[in-house]
Structure 1
Amino acid sequence: MRDFDGKIVLVTGASTGLGAAIAVGAATRGAKAVIINYAKSAAEAEATAEAVRAAGAEAVLAQGDVGDDAACRAIVEAAALFGRIDALANNAGVTKFAPNHGDLDALSRADFEHIFAVNLIGPFQMIRAARTLLEASDRASVLMTSSIAGVTGIGSSVAYAASKGALNTMTLSLARALAPKIRVNALCPGFIDTTWFSKSLPAAIVDRVRQGTIETTPLQAASTAEDVADAGLFLLSDAARHVTGETLLVDAGLHLGYAPLVAR
């Protein structure tokens, strides 16, 4: 597939996991250049850059926390030399693990503010900073990495689920506001078997979650980053040129077990 031929792609949170898979996937599909944003993981971001170059695309590293507006503008500036951005993947995200949603003391105001700053305000700031370069493209697209948590109210914490639910709503608002020049869609993964979990939780818990996912999802699968990235790349590509304001659940069918979604 060469559905990204000549495209300029910017991916936030691209040092590992889903972001890295999207960045490398775009390069493999013909992207001219991929701007790889990362907040702290310089060595891992460079590894992603090497994989992007090996796939035939130019790789540009751009450090910055998307929760900071000035950093968002600096990240976008890394793409300015190309004169446009064809695809923006707002993938950067954070959480605080507080899986007992009934424990209201597990999260502080500061936790909420940090999670919303990165997961919700960050994507808004990135789109605002990139708008001129996106509009310079013939067919610009934006992908929001949301979560099944934002649809079902499950997940690592109440704050995380709330931030993703708000991101889904913002996707609708911006899809209307930025059309026809820019498409905006959201991807809602379920469990993704990446280091995002293993760095934050004990191995035994991660193993239990992985096995539970395999046993309870209709497709009996624990998704890899590449499994989910393919769906994200579809929404970013011209193959989805008539798709905007869509929320695509990519969770091996996990959502089918939640009553409010059975008749969705």
Structure 2
Amino acid sequence: MTDLEGRLALVTGSATGLGRSIAVKLAERGADVIVNYARSATEAEEAADLCRAAGARVTVVQADVADPAGCRDLAGAAQDRGALDILVNNAGITRHARDHADLDALTKADFMDVYAVNVVGPYLMLQAARPLLEAAHKASGRSSAVLNTSSIAGIQGTGSSVAYAASKGALNTMTLSLARALAPAIRVNAICPGFIGTRWFRDAMDADSYDDTVRKIEAATPLSVASGPDDIADAALFLLSDASRHVTGELLTVDAGMHLG
């Protein structure tokens, strides 16, 4: 299927994990891709090569989405095309403090850092990319698609830390606000994954703890699976394609049923 042929997609935080999977799947569907990274240059080039192998034209841009100048640089990478059809605000960070009752585990700086990337970053990115997204709508007649990578943590108040959960809750409400404000030219949705077997989790624990976590996730989810990045990316592609052309302001939970308890 090449239903996205001729479109340009920008995926922030796409060097690894879910961002990489989304970028590659967009390329496989025919889109050209802007790959973004903050520090993982080698991994970003690997992601770009996978997109090129799928037939996409690819631009790699190093930029910090918490910096307005970085967001302008990313939008500038799309400027030569004059329009941007798809924006995925995937870049995110956390500060690990899983005991939410330990109020000394997080500092003001921890909160500010997490919010700068997870909440302010998507806002700044939309601020920079809005003229290009609106230009794509004007040229094609279809709404441009924006997808924010949120988390079940933002719905349930769970996850790696209070700061992380709060930031994703804020991202969810911002998704609703912007979906209302930017329609009809731009559709804005969010995806809320549960556990994803990526480096995000692997780097936070040793190998035995990670394997134990996966077993617990498989036992706890109604579908008896621990999701990988491709599983979540497949759902993301629905919200980025014309199959969801009448969907905006949606928070799509993709967690193998984890939220059911």
User: CA offset at residue 3 of structure 1?
Assistant: 2.4
Moved beyond 4 Å, runs of 4+: none
User: CA offset at residue 20 of structure 1?
Assistant: 0.2
Equivalents in 2 of 1:69, 1:209: separation in Å?
A: 37
Partner of 2:115: 116
Equivalents in 2 of 1:230, 1:236: separation in Å?
A: 10
Q: Percent identity?
A: 60
User: CA offset at residue 162 of structure 1?
Assistant: 0.1
Partner of 2:153: 149
User: CA offset at residue 210 of structure 1?
Assistant: 1.0
Q: Does 1:2 align with 2:2?
A: yes
Aligned length: 256
Partner of 1:260: none
Equivalents in 1 of 2:224, 2:150: separation in Å?
A: 22
Letter in 2 for 1:36: V
Partner of 1:239: 243
Letter in 1 for 2:24: V
TM-score by length of 2: 0.97
Equivalents in 2 of 1:222, 1:6: separation in Å?
A: 34
Equivalents in 1 of 2:170, 2:65: separation in Å?
A: 17
Instruction: Extract unaligned runs of 5+ from structure 1.
Output: 258-264
Deviations 1:201-228 (A, max 9, x none): 2222221221111000000011010000
Secondary structure of 1:82's partner? coil
Q: Does 1:90 align with 2:94?
A: no
Equivalents in 2 of 1:219, 1:115: separation in Å?
A: 31
User: CA offset at residue 197 of structure 1?
Assistant: 1.2
**Which of 222, 237, 244 is the matching residue for 1:218?**
222
User: CA offset at residue 83 of structure 1?
Assistant: 1.0
Aligned pairs for 1:1-264 (under 5 A) are 1-31=1-31, 33-138=32-137, 139-257=143-261
Equivalents in 2 of 1:206, 1:148: separation in Å?
A: 19
User: CA offset at residue 200 of structure 1?
Assistant: 2.5
Letter in 2 for 1:83: G
Equivalents in 1 of 2:37, 2:204: separation in Å?
A: 18
Letter in 1 for 2:241: S
User: CA offset at residue 166 of structure 1?
Assistant: 0.4
TM-score by length of 1: 0.96
Instruction: Extract unaligned runs of 5+ from structure 2.
Output: 138-142
User: CA offset at residue 58 of structure 1?
Assistant: 0.5
Equivalents in 2 of 1:68, 1:203: separation in Å?
A: 34
Equivalents in 2 of 1:4, 1:205: separation in Å?
A: 40
Stretch of structure 1 that moved more, 72-81 or 175-184: 72-81
Equivalents in 1 of 2:3, 2:147: separation in Å?
A: 16
User: CA offset at residue 196 of structure 1?
Assistant: 1.3
User: CA offset at residue 137 of structure 1?
Assistant: 1.0
Secondary structure of 2:164's partner? helix
**How large is the Cα RMSD of the aligned pairs?**
0.7
Letter in 2 for 1:103: D
Equivalents in 2 of 1:68, 1:202: separation in Å?
A: 32
Equivalents in 1 of 2:158, 2:211: separation in Å?
A: 19
Equivalents in 2 of 1:84, 1:241: separation in Å?
A: 18
